Chain A
Amino acid sequence: MILDARTGIPSLEGRYDCCVAGAGPAGITVALKLAEAGKRVVLLEAGDREATQESQELYAGEILGLDYYPLEAPRLRYLGGTTGHWGGQCLLLDRADFEPREDVPLSGWPIGYDDLAPYQPGAAQLLQTGEFPAEVRRPADNTGTIDVVTQRFSSDRAFYDVGGNEPVRFGTRHLADLETSDRIDLVLNANLVGFGFDTATGRLSVAKVRNYSDGAGEVAADLFVLAMGGIENARALLHLNEEVRNLFGNQNGMVGRCFMEHPVVHHGAYFITKRLYSHSPTWEFERLVRRAIPELLLSPSPAQRQQNGWLSATLRLERLNRRALSDAETGEAAFVRDLTFDEDYFLTGQSWVLGEQAPNPASRVVLTDRRDRFGLRITGLDWRLSPVDVETLRGTTIEAAKFLIRSGLGRMQMEPALWERAADLPIEYSSHHMGGARMSETPATGVVDGDCRVHGAANLFVAGSAVFPTSGHANPTFTIVQLALRLADHLIAEAA
């Protein structure tokens, strides 16, 4: 059932099996699966059914490190969370992304690819992507240096389905499920402002809730899940640890640390010298039958990136058009100027590169001295870029260009600042917020364990990309949902 705290905190009587804070893709996934298993769940959503200014402005924060979007811009604080404006791109983490690397400090997950693989069908169904093939990488040529990576879209549809091609919006897609469930109490306009706890047992007892007036209340539960997004999960844990002397995941000061984005550099144009899409048999065909956005994703092979010290990344060749290069695009390169459209090349498009960041404890979410309307300290984001992050973007771009040159398929532009490793790199962002409550074997290097349980807290868990120890190049939502399904299984076993 759906309750509304706007005019007063509703009576939430009795003890719930689980209290989930945040009704985005992670929180809704956990709640639905727990309810399916017969558990009683309270799902606290700080926003309403639609975005409201009073909710959204609570995402405001300070930018302390590299320039970044205003923090209230890339995230949505209402039912369905950031799926309200996401693009629907879904990728799998590679098997190699879970493995530790000697040359990358803090790399490696406490769980492996095979721990998440059983949750692929469930995530594909929730996100409406269709399933991934058994191998999402296949060599682009016979050099072993570069692969083509399979991508799925939440807007994928069968060719005979003439309905809309909007990606799945969790708030609207699951509204009826949430309304009719007699196991889930979804409370809108309910802001999580703290917890009641017992430090002796390491257990939380209640979640403290406020509405946008003076209403306040508490919810009692056996298990608690933070599912409020990459930045807010870290913020809530930082607040909690101020009260519990850093006993809950912050024993080594790791809460908020190793915040990661997927930095992006746009390169400009590329051209193709063949009239047919024969270099990628599925490129346009997929667009036709699945109505997906055609993009060719080229990614250095795991062996190639290990050899060069690069992290995971993809060079994205966007949809081709039958269009000549403009004079501005042709520029000063005599070689390109001498080419004739429709004789020497036939198709053009744009390209960009997206890369993984190395886990960096100095890149972090912190609490500032300013406070929001509930007296909670607002977020400071000190996002940083390491030299290896830049080398990854640079190396991946050059590797993709070498593939085009080797095969005679065409040429591409490259952002000169990236070629020159200039300090004023025109970095853009993916709005993927990962890390801050990273998964680790022990609290020495992270915040939650392999089951997403906060180190030192008996009944507090984290869902979402905050737990990613490393990010790979994959857009995070598919992995978030896989992890949420796995967490729900764990909570069901725990509640039993």
Chain B
Amino acid sequence: MGSRRVFLTRRRVAGAIVAILAVPPLARIALLRLKDNPLPRVAAPEPVLIGRWLLDASDLAGGPGG
């Protein structure tokens, strides 16, 4: 049984470079997006001013957890 040879082609080299350059930042962006913790969307905001902050009336019910 003979070993299978892997040829070094330009396409493979380019693919490897792209993978090395592109994958880590894309993975980082995906990770950061997963960790995002946006506040709940509010379809019809009712702004109220509390201690200089322009909050929504629903914010007064509690912290970001509700």
Residues of A within 8 A of B (CB): 268, 273-276, 278, 331-336, 338-339, 343-344, 397-398, 401-402, 405-416, 419
Indicate which residue in A334, A397, A408, A414 contacts B52 across the interface (CB closer than 8 Å): A414
Which residues, 33 to 63 on B, are CB-close (under 8 Å) to A? 33, 35-43, 45, 47, 49-56, 59-60, 62-63
Interface pair A409/B63, CB less than 8 Å apart = no
| Given contacts A406-B45, A413-B53, A276 and B29 within 8 Å (CB-CB) | yes
- Is the pair B35, A405 in contact by a Cβ cutoff of 8 Å? no
A398 to B49, CA, bound (A): 10
In the complex, the answer to whether A414 meets B33 with C-beta atoms within 8 Å is no
Q: Is the CB of B32 within 8 A of A412?
A: no
A275 and B35 in contact (CB under 8 A), knowing A338-B63, A338-B64?
A: yes
Residues from chain B with a CB closer than 8 A to the CB of A398 are 47, 54
Contacts A414-B54, A416-B49, A419-B54 known; list 8 others, CB within 8 Å. Answer: A268-B52, A276-B29, A276-B36, A344-B64, A398-B54, A408-B41, A412-B53, A412-B54
Known contacts: A273-B39, A408-B39. The answer to whether A334 contacts B63 by CB under 8 A is: yes
A contact residues around B64 at 8 Å (CB): 335, 338-339, 344
A/B interface sample: 29 pairs, CB < 8 A:
A273-B37, A275-B35, A333-B51, A334-B63, A335-B53, A335-B55, A335-B62, A335-B64, A338-B63, A338-B64, A339-B63, A339-B64, A343-B37, A397-B54, A401-B45, A402-B45, A405-B39, A405-B45, A405-B47, A406-B41, A406-B42, A407-B38, A407-B41, A411-B55, A411-B59, A412-B54, A413-B53, A414-B53, A416-B52
Q: Which residues of B contact A411 (CB under 8 A)?
A: 39, 53-55, 59
Contact between chains at B51 and A274 (CB < 8 Å) = no
For residue A123, give the distance in angstroms from its CB to the closest CB of chain B: 36
Query: Contacts A402-B45, A408-B38, A408-B40; is A333 near B53 (CB within 8 Å)?
Result: yes
Chain B positions near chain A (C-beta within 8 angstroms)? 29, 32-33, 35-43, 45, 47, 49-56, 59-60, 62-64
Cα A402 to Cα B40 with chains together (Å): 13
The residues of A that contact B51 with a CB separation of less than 8 Å are 331-333, 336
Smallest CB gap from A409: residue in B: B38
Q: Is B49 a contact partner of A414 (Cβ separation < 8 A)?
A: yes
- B53 CB to closest chain A CB (Å) equals 4
- A415: chain B residues within 8 A (beta carbon): 52
Q: Kindly report which residue of chain B lies nearest to residue A328, judged by CB atoms.
A: B52
Contact call A402/B47, Cβ cutoff below 8 A? yes
Measured between alpha carbons, how far is A405 from B33 in the docked complex, in Å?
Answer: 19
Cα separation A343 to B39 with both chains bound (whole Å): 11
A413–B54 CA distance with the chains assembled, in angstroms: 5
Compute how far the CA of A409 lies from the CA of B56 in the bound complex, rounded to whole angstroms: 13
Closest A residue, CB atoms, query B57: A405
Smallest Cβ distance from A417 to chain B, in angstroms? Answer: 11
- Quick one: closest B residue to A403, CB to CB? B45
